[in-house]
Structure 1
Amino acid sequence: MLAVIDVWLGRLLALGAALSALLMIFCAGSLGYGILVRLTTGASSIWPIDMAGHTLVYIVMLAAAEAFRRNEHIGVDLLTARLPPRGRAIADRWAALVVLVTAAVLLWTGIDMVQFSRAINLHTSDYVELPLHIVQAAMPVGAFMLALAAARRLFGPPPAQEEEP
């Protein structure tokens, strides 16, 4: 059963990372377009800068869970590398618990934030004027994915017993 969960969780988090990568390409392309417009016409194109800011929220939130699953997040390796294997396993579980709690708080507040922005019809205060809840939706979506990854690490076998993909 755990293998099936791992497969589906891996697919979900890989999809989030792939979407994040596509958004990075879009962000770079739109900024390149803005530079090209300025160089060729002398006019400023404002929307690429606005969209870069909005997509950056999605880039970070969608990729965070996959980075955590792969153990590529920022850690205090200077301390944990000196611990015995049991100490490293405890430190890893503690980190997973902290990430799970943080993700739960982000999920809770993110849902509340999106509902509030949608209820009063807030829009971004830039040239693009997107409905703000669309930009903010990245937070609860990414937090949910991060919570799944953290729960898997917290309640699953320790990383030392898992096989690397």
Structure 2
Amino acid sequence: MTSLRSRVLAVSRPVSLFVASALLLINLAVILYGVFMRYLAGGAPIWTDELARFLIIGSVMLAAGAVWVEGGHMRVALIERLLPAPLCRLLHLYQWLLTLGLVIAGAVFSYRYAQSVAMFTTSGLGISRTVPMLSLPIGFGLLAWQALWYGPAPLPSQAEEAV
């Protein structure tokens, strides 16, 4: 089971980070195009700001699971260092269950919300608001997927280096 878990995480983490990075590069291109059009060509299309906003939200949501599994998010692990081993394992189980509960609820509620705004269109792109809003349930779903496969193990911590 451990090797299957490692393989699933070894595939899903880089894939989600690659897609998030691609969205970030597209976002950079859209912003540069908007800046070029605004300041050098005389007027930027309205869709550049809106698309840049949607792309940054999508890239953050897609990368959230991989960052959580790598322990690259901001957290304070003081309690983990002070507790004895049996209580620390119980704390890790609690954190894992809480994370799964919150992200699954986030996926369900954001999916319902994305479906409820289907009749509205975005002002700049003219597409259904559901399309950009689906980045939230997809991101929460990926975070739940990666957290589920990671299990209630302790998260890696990013050690501070002395300067």
Fold-level similarity (TM above 0.5): yes
Higher helix share: 1
RMSD over aligned Cα atoms: 2.2
- Mapped to 1, the partners of 2:58 and 2:92 lie a distance apart of 26
The residue type equivalent to 1:38 in the other structure is R
> Structure 1 length normalisation: TM-score?
0.81
Contact 2:69 2:155 in 1 (8 A): no
Alpha-carbon offset, residue 102 of structure 1:
0.9
> Structure 2 length normalisation: TM-score?
0.82
SS in 1 for 2:71: coil
Aligned residues: 155
Aligned to 1:149: 146
Deviations 1:92-113 (A, max 9, x none): 3332222111101111112212
The residue type equivalent to 2:132 in the other structure is V
Structure 1: unaligned runs, 5 residues or longer:
161-165
Aligned to 1:122: 120
Matching residue within 131, 134, 145 for 1:134: 131
Aligned to 1:83: 82
Contact 1:97 1:154 in 2 (8 A): no
SS in 2 for 1:122: coil
Output aligned runs, 1:1-165, within 5 Å.
Answer: 1-77=1-77, 79-80=78-79, 82-84=81-83, 86=85, 87-118=87-118, 121-124=119-122, 126-155=123-152, 157-158=153-154
The residue type equivalent to 2:131 in the other structure is I
Structure 2: unaligned runs, 5 residues or longer:
157-163
- Mapped to 2, the partners of 1:52 and 1:92 lie a distance apart of 37
- Mapped to 2, the partners of 1:3 and 1:93 lie a distance apart of 21
